[in-house]
Structure 1
Amino acid sequence: TSSLCGFCYRAKSLLKQKNINFQEIDVDNEYEKRVEMIQKSGGRTSVPQIFFGDQHIGGCDDLFELNRNNELDNL
């Protein structure tokens, strides 16, 4: 995540609503984690980039799409 990121806030809110545990990494303050995020996400630099284990989900819109399609609970 990044400070003042509305998409990050929305994604975290959805995960909390669904009682899905998550680890938040502030890439503003952790340069090494930002580099790792970019590498693991195929070059994406926007936040949030959401992962379930090693599986890259995508960003906030991708997370909400999974939820709309009733696929989020299966991950």
Structure 2
Amino acid sequence: MSDKPKVEIYTKWGCPYCARAKQLLDSKGVAYDEFDVTMGGPKKAEMLERAPNHLTVPSIFIDGMHVGGSDQLAALNAQGKLDMMLGL
């Protein structure tokens, strides 16, 4: 079993913020589970249930904790906190 945290990202097709967030995670070599909620459905409902005050994508979770969207992920990275959260 990996000691790396579980990263999950809810995205929509064509979303530039989603692409930016995934690019940041990719640049760090972090594996993540991506859930496309473009068409709504159960994963969209799950996203809203997990983070009811976050209505936009991407919606990013690290080890079950909601960290926000692309801007929040970039801010964590700029503050040097993201690597610690990701176990890097």
Pair in the same fold by TM > 0.5: yes
- In the alignment, which of 5, 15, 25 is matched to residue 15 of structure 1? 25
Structure with more contact order per residue of length (Cα contacts < 8 Å, sep ≥ 6): 2
Q: Match for residue 62 of structure 1?
A: 72
Instruction: From the two aligned structures, give the one with the greater strand fraction.
Output: 2
Q: How far apart in 2 are the matches of 1:11 and 1:28?
A: 16
RMSD: 1.1
1:33 aligns with 2:53: no
TM-score by length of 1: 0.93
Where does structure 1 differ by over 2 angstroms across 4 or more consecutive aligned residues?
Answer: none
Count of residue correspondences:
75
TM-score by length of 2: 0.80
Instruction: From the two aligned structures, give the one with the greater helix fraction.
Output: 1
34-43 vs 61-70, greater mean Cα deviation: 34-43
The CA deviation at 1:30 is 5.3
Consecutive unaligned residues in structure 2, runs of 5 or more = 1-10
Note the 1:43-58 alignment, pairs <5 A: 43-58=53-68
Q: How far apart in 2 are the matches of 1:29 and 1:16?
A: 25
2-11 vs 39-48, greater mean Cα deviation: 39-48
Consecutive unaligned residues in structure 1, runs of 5 or more = none
The CA deviation at 1:43 is 3.0
